[in-house]
Amino acid sequence: MRITPSEIRQKTFEKNFRGYDKDEVTAFLEALSKDWEKMEEEKKELQRRLEISETEGSNLKQVEASLFRTLKTAEDTGASIIEEANHAADLILQEANQNADAMLNEAQSQSHNLIEAAEAKGREIMGNLKADVTAMVNGYESLINQRELTIKNLKKIAEDLSYSISQSQESIKKIKIQDHARLVHELSKTNAFSMAKTNEIKEEEMTRHILYPPIVETNETVLIAQVEEEESISVSEDFEEISEQIEAKSTLEPEKFKVKVEEEIMEEQEKPSAKPVDEENIKNQKGGSFFDQFD
């Protein structure tokens, strides 16, 4: 049974002899109603606060549930992200390792190829150097041999020339200048300068004016053959020059030709005669030759 403050104030009691004091009971009931009313108001206020608290609690529960769901989602998302990150890191690390292995293999292959190319180039250079050095050594030895052979040939040529000079000087001594003069005098008196006579004179003069006897042909070196060829050419040129001089002289008048020939004979007689050279002394005098300094 619920008692309200108004019921407390309106409550009445039966009157009896020697009962409670009416004023005191009324005052007590009045105070009790006020306190009861106050308690009701407090109850209502507490009820309102309870409802507010319950509402706030419900909201807080909803927020808590939302936060829990968010936290759970965050945890799941974080775990997924971490898992994906770990998986991506593993893939990146694996790819990096593969790339590093490939790069290392490629670097080793390139290094091996470079080393092989450098070694091949070095072998080629060394082979070329050896071939060049061998060729230079062979060329030097060949030059030394050619030098020695040339020196020997030049010595031989010098000896042959010395011998030829000595023979020529002896042949010059044997020429009789008076016979030449007498022959020219007789030819000037007669009409001897015809074409036939001129050819005979050419042959005779050629025979008399070849002062160097022919050098004996040897097959020792090519250089001696060249020198002999040059001497032969020189002798041929001398013969042609002598022939031209005889033809020119044949066109002169006999007296002028005679005088010219006599003058030439006198000049030849006035020239100092060379001392005879002994062939054995020339061959033995090795120190006096220019080519002896190569010994």
Q: Residues 194-207: pLDDT tens digits?
A: 555 555 555 555 55
pLDDT at 97: 87
CA distance 91 to 22: 99
pTM of the model: 0.29
List the single range of 91-105, 139-153, 224-238 with lowest mean pLDDT.
224-238
Residue 275 has pLDDT above 80, yes or no: no
As a whole number, mean pLDDT of residues 40-68 equals 88
CA distance 30 to 24: 10
List the single range of 132-141, 258-267, 281-290 with lowest mean pLDDT.
281-290
Q: Which residues contact 151 (CB under 8 A, 6 or more apart)?
A: 291, 294
pLDDT tens string 142-189? 899 998 999 989 888 888 888 888 887 777 666 655 666 666 666 666
8 Å CB contact between 144 and 287: no
pLDDT at 61: 84
Residue 81 has pLDDT above 70, yes or no: yes
Average pLDDT taken over every residue of the chain? 71
Residue 263 has pLDDT above 70, yes or no: no
Count other Cβ atoms within 10 Å, centred on residue 5. 19
Residue 290 has pLDDT above 70, yes or no: no
Domain boundaries, the chain: 5-77, 156-294
